Chain A
């Protein structure tokens, strides 16, 4: 899959998981992995960018005597999911158009 596209989808997945409640890195990797294969090396830059674009916020909490980073979705992040879903609806329309054109050509 083209990397930009894949990245956008993964970002939306992470945000969707976070919409259910705050989470931490490893849990996020596990949750997203249920839908799409994702490794830590891919997850890190995604979390980083979501943080930089203020779609999520980061805070540290103690866990078993060490600090663990937790991620919480922001209002801007929720808006972003809606925005992305709208964009994909457009893409689905384009997809249908392309499929239809091909079918007509083959007939």
Chain B
């Protein structure tokens, strides 16, 4: 075997083993072959005297820390399990765990629905208030105008004007924070729905 052949075969074998320092090792063996040739061996003799590539690789694998070896084993078996019927274990677990996960799922679903309901009630209430305040303000103003035209006493006009001022300023003050509230909570809800969709239908 020539030096090039030896090193390229070694490289392929080492890469199969998922080792970090392949380059370093190839350099080492390159140097060994060169030194042997300088010592008087031919290229063939030099590569032959290094022993079989299988033995070299085996030795390196032994040098791997046990933790890496174990991790690889786990990953291999995981990959195997997934390719074999793609998570048959999960189906078995789902069937066996039926009495446990069904009530839990039901409780979670009910909780989610209640939260949704409460949220929409709050939103609707606020929206209603936002709608009613300006409308009442308008009504008060109309009432005040009616007084001016002589339909009602002066005191009623004062009450109407006061009501218009209070309600008008309230609706003016509440308008922006409420919109902000809708926007923020709306985004949170949208995100929650997207996340739910993602987990349910991958």
Contact = CB atoms under 8 A, between A and B. Distances in A.
Contact of B31 (A3, A24, A49): A24
A68 B31 contact: yes
A24 B35 contact: yes
B82 to A, nearest CB: 34
Interface stretch (A36-44, A76-84, A95-103): A36-44
Interface string A38-54: 01111011011100000
B28 A66 contact: no
A69 B50 CA distance: 18
Given A3-B62, A42-B59, A25 B31 contact: yes
B32 A40 contact: yes
Nearest to A68: B31
Interface size class, chain B: 20 to 34
Interface residues of A, number: 19
Interface in A1-32: 3, 24-27, 29
Contacts of B124: none
Contacts of A3: 62
A26 B29 contact: no
A102 B35 CA distance: 49
B28 A41 contact: no
Contacts of B29: 40, 44
B59 A66 contact: no
Interface string B6-45: 0000000000000001001101110110111011000000
23 contacts: A3-B62, A25-B31, A25-B35, A26-B35, A27-B35, A29-B32, A39-B55, A40-B51, A41-B51, A41-B56, A41-B60, A42-B59, A44-B28, A45-B60, A45-B63, A47-B28, A48-B24, A48-B63, A66-B34, A68-B31, A68-B35, A69-B28, A69-B31
Interface of B: 21, 24-25, 27-29, 31-32, 34-36, 38-39, 50-51, 55-56, 59-60, 62-63
